[in-house]
Amino acid sequence: MKVLDAEFAQGFFRMCGDGFDQGWHERNGGNLSYRMKPEEVEEVKDDLGTYEGSVQDGTWQEIGTEVPALADEYFMVTGSGKYMRNVKIAPQDNVSIIHVDSTGTKFSIVWGLNKGGRPTSELPTHLMNLEVLKKRDSEIRVVYHCHPTNIIALTYVLPEDSEIFTREIWEMATECPVVFPKGLGVLPWMVCGGKEIGVATSKLMAKQDFVIWSQHGAFACGHDFDETFGLMHTVEKAAEVLLKVMAVTDRKRQTIEPDEFRDLSRAFNIPFDERFLYEKTPGARIGER
Ligand code: 13P
Ligand code: ZN
């Protein structure tokens, strides 16, 4: 089967367009990766290859970090500097499939990027996340990075603190703790595109499904494209509600209280991390404990 016709590839391309439609991918902002299932590799193997003189020339390039637990696996990843809005119309020019070598330190492009290029500059973070996620749950396969406006705006006005961020966002929609019961990780501003931010992000991703990069964007993971996109959408929507509330007041008249979250947790039979259900000081302003 051709890669372009495979169901996983179509889901990947659709998600790129959906993210663009939400306004989360200005210019080349954001990137997406997917750890292919062995049967999906098998399904498209005749369409993977090496072609002399093209980017699929069989050379091995440094990942820039080590991901031994991903040795010999295949990934679909967006290209660096490519625009998400173009993926749907020309996936073969904007997306690649890479093969990670047996040491987990190098990759080779085996499909796509037909007009040249290389995988996303955030490849170290994507692969390090996919590695810790595979150890956590071998069916988590999708890692998504985008630049969602409201989440980014909040990183200028809330403390860069996972507990406060999670709690303030949870209070903005009843579904939030049900969708991300392990809360949000938050990193302070760091230089992007390298190993150091990948190490820091994957440390959080080892326990949580969502990491905010202050003054930059966010990372979400999931078992499939729907779940991952839905998680990003849920957090971003709640961030928008929070900013609207903050635009008119610095104190809420009423909100969802810790014991109400506990009732919800029991009703849905999902444990919510108690770290986020701290008692607030009466009269505390939004973003204060
Ligand atoms: P790439 O174009 O290299 O994927 O980078 C976009 C981005 O969002 C960097 O954080
Ligand atoms: Zn980015």
52 is known as an active-site residue = no
Task: Pick out the chain residues at pLDDT < 50.
Answer: none
Could you tell me the distance, in angstroms and rounded to a whole number, from the CA of residue 190 to the centre of ligand 1?
Answer: 14
Q: Please name every residue paired with 34 in a beta bridge, in sequence order, or none if there are none.
A: 76, 142
Q: Which residues line ligand 1 (CB under 6 A)?
A: 28-31, 78, 80-81, 120-122, 145, 192
CA nearest to 145, candidates 126, 169, 124, 161: 126
Pair of tokens at residue 56: 């699929």
**CB within 8 Å of 7: residues ≥ 6 apart:** none
- Dihedral angle, C-alpha 187, 193, 194, 197, nearest 10 °: 10
Q: Please name every residue paired with 143 in a beta bridge, in sequence order, or none if there are none.
A: 33, 221
- Dihedral angle, C-alpha 114, 9, 107, 51, nearest 10 °: -40
Q: What is the pLDDT of residues 238-271, one digit of tens each?
A: 999 999 999 999 999 999 999 999 999 999 999 9
For 166, the 3-state DSSP assignment is helix
Return d(Cα 153, Cα 147) in angstroms, integer. Answer: 10
**CB within 8 Å of 101: residues ≥ 6 apart:** 60, 71, 72, 107, 108
> What per-residue confidence (pLDDT) applies to 219?
99
Ligand found nearest the CA of 193: 1
Q: What is the pLDDT of residues 100-151, one digit of tens each?
A: 999 999 999 999 999 999 999 999 999 999 999 999 999 999 999 999 999 9
pTM passes above 0.85:
yes
Ligand 1 atom closest to the Cα of residue 30 is 8
